[in-house]
Amino acid sequence: MGSGNIDRPILRLKCVLDVLAEDIWTGRPSGNGSAAGHALTEAVARAPFTKHEGELLSGGIPRGYKALTTASAKLVKAGWLVKGRSGWTITEDGLRAVVAFPDANSFGEALAAGTRVPEMPVPMGPAKKPAAKRNRAKVKAVDAFPQPVDAFPQPVDAFPQPEAVAVAGNFSSALGAPEDWAPRFDEVQLALDPADQSWKLTADLPAGSYAYKIALDRSWTENYGAFGVRDGADHQLHHAGGSITFNYDHRTHDISITTP
């Protein structure tokens, strides 16, 4: 079947799994953002949005991006992807699925039908150097009873956080800051919510179309744009006016918008 007949949303889901697998097999770090953001961004790069999919929704997120993140639940249901506190992780079955269903058509059919992934050796990543000094008795005891990744989850407050998080954009002055695009001012700082370890800022913003990014520690040295990518493109926001809450999660480097 020609590439023009391929279901592009399914192709993007396959690309997400492909990228996560490639990161493991090559030992490649997941870009400057989270593994999820890296995989989603790369999936869109490999299967670009149509004009309709590229239209921005009210929260400043492209229609196709929202559809892709929603559709990723299919990968979780199939047992090929785990979405945890530490981000997105491809499973052993997910690694096998990448090999067993190498094209978008067979991948989509297997995903829709709930096809069981054939048993096969899981491709491994590059060999790791052994630790310099290891307690062999202790290692044996631990390795004898392997635990799932989330068997011993870290407490919520264990995740390292920056000193400050700002939402800096062309609306900063509307929030009371002396100038736009300046992350050093108090008026654009978010506050850390210890309950869920996310950063929040609620403010009244006039109706309009805006652009902004997340900047850490009151400077542009470390900043995150669309899809949680470091030094990425600006977030876009189309706001009807009134109260708005910015929610930033440092575990994913991404931001969400809520309005009443």
Task: Give pLDDT tens digits for 193-226.
Answer: 877 788 999 999 999 999 999 999 999 999 998 8
CB 216 within 8 A of CB 210: no
Residue type, 12: R
Most confident of 36-40, 83-87, 142-146, 204-208: 204-208
Distance CA 171, CA 173 (A): 5
Q: What is the pLDDT of residue 217?
A: 94
The architecture of the domain spanning 159-258 is: Sandwich (2.60)
- Extract the tokens encoding 113: 């039908």
Residue in this structure with the two tokens 């929030």, named with its chain if needed: 175
* pTM exceeds 0.75, yes or no: no
Secondary structure of residue 40 in the 3-state scheme: helix
Q: What is the pLDDT of residues 4-30, one digit of tens each?
A: 456 888 999 999 999 998 888 887 665
Q: What is the pLDDT of residue 181?
A: 96
Q: State the pLDDT confidence band at 160, using cuts at 50, 70 and 90.
A: confident
Q: What is the pLDDT of residues 72-104, one digit of tens each?
A: 889 999 999 988 766 788 999 999 999 999 888
CB 74 within 8 A of CB 9: no
Crossing angle between the packed helical segments 63-71 and 35-46, to the nearest 10 degrees: 120
CB 20 within 8 A of CB 93: no
Average pLDDT over residues 100-110: 90
Greater pLDDT, 154 or 5: 5
Average pLDDT over residues 182-202: 91
Distance CA 189, CA 185 (A): 7
CB 45 within 8 A of CB 68: no
CB 167 within 8 A of CB 176: no
Residue type, 17: L
Numbered ranges of CATH 2.60.40.10 in the chain? 159-258
Distance CA 249, CA 246 (A): 10
Residue type, 43: A
HSE-up of residue 175 (Cα within 13 Å, Cβ side): 28
- Indicate the range of 57-61, 75-79, 174-178, 188-192 predicted with least confidence: 57-61
Asked whether the predicted pLDDT for residue 147 surpasses 70, the reply is: no
Q: What is the pLDDT of residue 247?
A: 92
Query: Is residue 211 exposed (0-12), middle (13-18) or buried (19+ Cβ within 10 Å)?
Result: middle
255: number of Cβ within 10 Å: 26
HSE-up of residue 150 (Cα within 13 Å, Cβ side): 10
Distance CA 107, CA 47 (A): 15
- Extract the tokens encoding 181: 């695009």
73: number of Cβ within 10 Å: 11
Distance CA 32, CA 35 (A): 9
